[in-house]
Amino acid sequence: EFMKNYCFKYQPKLKNVKEIRVVKHGVDVDKFNYNLKRGYGKRLGWVGNLKPVKDPMRILRLMPQIPDWQLRFLAVPSVYPKLTHQTEKMVGNQRNIIWIRKKVPHLKMPAYYQKLDVFANTSLIESQCVSVLEAMSCGIYSLIRKWPHPECHAEEIYPRDLLFDTMVECKRKIWSWVKLSFNEKKAVSRRMRLFVVKRHNVKDNVRRMRKMIEGVVK
């Protein structure tokens, strides 16, 4: 609904269309795959452009509370110098944050996700957040903030037990995951993967779009 309203705002002629069908972004589950032989550690991931709507300071402020974890912070600076300066200061004071400042080619993103144990999204607003889906496709336990924007509903996209309101709740979920046995963590990884394969496989989305187009052409 949020993206539909956004499109109407900038393309008002779309309102005159008789029927609108939405096919959400999918994930190449063959490329973003799950390594069955992987082990588990304490590596946390975050991906996004460095801008206020992504609310990166939340994850940075969490790191002093979990000093034995490492944050792989993939955040490309944008046009917000104050936020960039705050980030530099925060990262400079923490030894457990690796800041990846340059954009990583999409072909290399699977390797980034596959080195993680937990992935976190702290955005204020999202339409779906493909980085979460990519991480889940790689079998990474993913935690998603309940996006505060009234038109964004993470609970309509993701399993409710993966959502959090506060960073206290996020930290509690991380510690709960830590306490799981190896086999239990593998089960979580398989569950993350299966969620994307069943609901957000890009091949299924392409078939769906093709069927829609063929229906219009006929």
C-alpha distances in angstroms, 42 versus 101, 116, 117? 21, 8, 6
Annotate 107-132 with b (16+ C-beta within 10 A) or e (fewer): eebbebbbbbbbbbbbbeebbbbebb
Token pair of 130, please? 């493909």
185: Cα separation from own chain's centroid: 19
Q: pLDDT tens across 192-213, in order?
A: 999 999 998 887 666 766 666 6
The pTM assigned to this predicted structure is 0.85
Domain ranges (residues) in the chain: 27-201
Q: CA-to-CA distance for 121 and 61, rounded, in angstroms? A: 14
Q: Which CATH class is domain 27-201?
A: alpha beta
Considering Cα of 132, then 133, then 138, then 142, what sign does the dihedral take?
Answer: positive
Task: Provide φ and ψ at 70, rounded to 5°.
Answer: -115, 130
Q: How much is the pLDDT for 140?
A: 98
Q: CA-to-CA distance for 99 and 74, rounded, in angstroms? A: 6
Considering Cα of 48, then 52, then 54, then 57, what sign does the dihedral take?
Answer: positive
Q: How much is the pLDDT for 127?
A: 78
Q: CA-to-CA distance for 57 and 59, rounded, in angstroms? A: 6
Q: Can you list the residues of the chain whose pLDDT is less than 50?
A: none
Helix (H, G, I), strand (E, B) or coil at 141: strand
Token pair of 186, please? 């593998």
198: Cα separation from own chain's centroid: 17
Closest CA to 191 of 116, 129, 138: 138
Q: CA-to-CA distance for 98 and 114, rounded, in angstroms? A: 16
